């Protein structure tokens, strides 16, 4: 059977034991799902099976499944680099994807990045990483260190950075 036309649904189960049901054709965007189903290069599978995603907690997996379902209906347009704009909305024009990450807190955002990476969902990884990039945009290394509570550079490191980056420090 061709996986792309597979009408059957499967369940993805989170670390907390909650299951989320979705069509296999949508779930297979995640390469872990393909691998778990031994989908070969031609996209042929027997009968799709449920997959446990033990690395991902329930609230995060729920959000991931929401993404997978929507992506199957409306794919995310490729994000072109170099970016045209410094804002998330300026680079992602599709309203659903703009709203998808609206209002979520920072831990959820980073859980999504990690989940997208672990589950090998490239479009979700692209989208969430873009969101993080836009948060960092326009901030200096010093500001980022303060926000993230990263220790200051030692005087020696500071000197090396200054030497390497004279053209940026502009002094």
For residues 76-98, one letter each, b for 16 or more C-beta atoms within 10 angstroms of the residue's C-beta and e for the rest, the string is beebeeeeeeeebeebbeeeebe
- Output the six-digit token pair for 38: 């031994």
User: Between 46 and 73, whose beta carbon lies closer to other proteins?
Assistant: 46
- The Cα diameter of the chain in Å comes to 65
Which residue stretch of 20-28, 62-70, 94-102, 159-167 sits at the interface with other proteins (rule: CB under 8 A)?
159-167
Q: Which is nearer to other proteins, 94 or 133 (CB)?
A: 133
Task: Indicate whether 148 belongs to the interface with other proteins (CB under 8 A).
Answer: yes
CA dist 139 → 84, 92, 136, 143, 144 (Å): 18, 21, 6, 6, 6
Number of chain residues interacting with other proteins (CB under 8 A) = 53
Q: For other proteins, which stretch binds (CB under 8 A), given 20-28, 66-74, 92-100, 103-111?
A: 103-111
Site for other proteins in 22-51 (CB under 8 A): 32, 36, 46-47, 49-51
Closest CA to 97 of 119, 122, 70: 70
Distance separating alpha carbons of residues 171 and 135, to the nearest angstrom: 27
Q: Which residues make up the interface to other proteins (CB under 8 A)?
A: 8, 10-11, 13, 32, 36, 46-47, 49-55, 79, 81-83, 106-107, 110-111, 113-114, 117-118, 120, 125-126, 129-130, 132-137, 140-141, 144-145, 148-151, 153, 161, 164-168
């Amino acid at each position: 059977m061709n996986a792309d036309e597979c009408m059957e649904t499967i369940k993805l189960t989170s670390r907390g034991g909650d299951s989320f049901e979705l069509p296999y054709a949508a779930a297979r965007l995640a390469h872990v799902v393909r691998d778990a189903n031994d989908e070969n290069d031609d996209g042929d599978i027997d009968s799709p099976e449920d997959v446990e995603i033990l690395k991902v907690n329930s609230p995060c997996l729920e959000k991931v499944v929401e993404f997978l379902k929507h992506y199957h209906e409306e794919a995310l347009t490729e994000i072109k680099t170099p970016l045209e704009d410094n804002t998330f909305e300026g680079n992602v024009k599709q309203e659903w994807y703009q709203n998808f990450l609206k209002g979520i807190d920072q831990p959820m955002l980073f859980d999504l990045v990690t989940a997208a990476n672990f589950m090998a969902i490239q479009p979700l990884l692209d989208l969430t990483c873009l969101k993080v990039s836009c948060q960092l945009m326009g901030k200096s290394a010093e500001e980022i260190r303060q926000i993230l509570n990263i220790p200051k550079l030692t005087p020696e490191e500071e000197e090396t950075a200054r030497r390497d980056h004279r053209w940026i420090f502009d002094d």
